[in-house]
Amino acid sequence: MTRIAGTTTRHAGGGATRPADAASVRKPRSPILLTHAARPATFDVTAVDEHGEIRDVPIAGEHPLTLYVDKREVLTLMTLGAAPEALAIGYLRNQRLVQTLDEIVAVQVDWDTNAVAVKTRHGLADLEAKTAKRTKTSGCGQGTVFGDLMQDIDSVRLPPGATLTRSALYDLLEQVRTHETIYKQAGAVHGCALASNAGAHARILQFVEDVGRHNAVDAIAGQMWLDGEEGHDKIFYTTGRLTSEMVIKAAQMAIPFLVSRSGLTQMGHEIARKVGMTMIGRATNRHYLLFTGAERFRADA
């Protein structure tokens, strides 16, 4: 396991260990050529406080990162830069531009040119058609999705027997509260966490922060692929609001439980109901609102 500037990630081919309750099925795959080009998460600047005193203050990094796939420019992301390789892979996954990790040969980040180059085995199918239609979203740090926003939702099937206990929810919220984060140092970022879900307990497996919550969820999605991590027995937590795109991304990752300290939108609520996801908002300390998927939730462990 590698900890990058307050962000927990695992790299392809690494010998990471994980708790017994976080075990998952690992699928054989071809090795991917990866750089490990994380940027510093914070930078020190000077500011004048309310007493007129000069102070050194950490602020969050923000870097343009242009994504190229097979030498073709796709878009530029603004990112903290803590996990750029996982971000690129997760972006392609969540935009439905690649279907499996085996389609990717290499992910190379070069901060001198602010670029990440992805090489695929056979090129991206229907790239022209998918990038021709763009939908503006309410997401910070991204704001555009390719293709039909509702594409493939009807085919999503979340695990029918998965349940979440209130004790596990409280366990996760307490871990989030005490987790050392860039937000506590510098603010200006969103965080997302992937957590195990085992009876009365949960455990944070990955915690990623970025300038936008969509970057953070994409980085987790990419790292899940790199680790061979399944989503059916996991909880996804985000500090940001639960919009339609956040719900779609969690559903595509086969994660049945989505939790946020913030609120939700009408379309996010509608899609969560459609796919049978348990969505919990306004979740802090021991307070929460259960919006959808009550049949999966257990008040007692």
Residue 179 has a pLDDT of: 86
Q: Find the helix or strand (DSSP H, E) in which 287 lies.
A: strand 287-292
All structural domains of the chain, each given as residue ranges with its CATH number in brackets, are 30-150 (3.10.20.10), 164-298 (3.40.140.10)
Q: Which of 16, 65, 6, 14 is nearest to 215 (CA)?
A: 65
| Residue 285 identity | N
Residue 141 has a pLDDT of: 42
User: How far is residue 220's CA from residue 262's CA, in Å, rounded to a whole number?
Assistant: 19
pLDDT band at 166 (very low <50, low <70, confident <90, very high): very high
Q: Which of 113, 91, 93 is nearest to 101 (CA)?
A: 93
Q: How many CB atoms lie within 10 A of CB 16?
A: 12
User: Bridge-partner residues for 205, per DSSP?
Assistant: none
Q: Is the pLDDT of residue 20 over 90?
A: no
Question: Over the stretch 112-132, which tens digit does the pLDDT of each residue have?
Answer: 999 999 999 998 876 666 665
Please count the CA atoms within 13 angstroms of the CA of 216 that sit on its side-chain side.
26
3-state secondary structure 41-52: CEEEEEEECCCC
Cβ atoms of 237 and 174 within 8 Å: the answer is no
| Mean pLDDT for the stretch of residues 222-226 | 96
Cβ atoms of 240 and 282 within 8 Å: the answer is no
| Mean pLDDT for the stretch of residues 3-25 | 37
Instruction: Give the angle subtended at the CA of 6 by the CAs of 55 and 277, to the nearest 5°.
Output: 125
Question: Over the stretch 273-285, which tens digit does the pLDDT of each residue have?
Answer: 999 999 999 999 9
| Helix residue ranges per DSSP H, 141-212 | 166-178, 182-186
Task: Supply the pTM of this predicted model.
Answer: 0.81
| Mean pLDDT for the stretch of residues 58-64 | 86
What sign does the CA torsion over 130, 135, 138, 143 have? positive
Cβ atoms of 62 and 79 within 8 Å: the answer is yes
Q: Is the pLDDT of residue 287 over 60?
A: yes
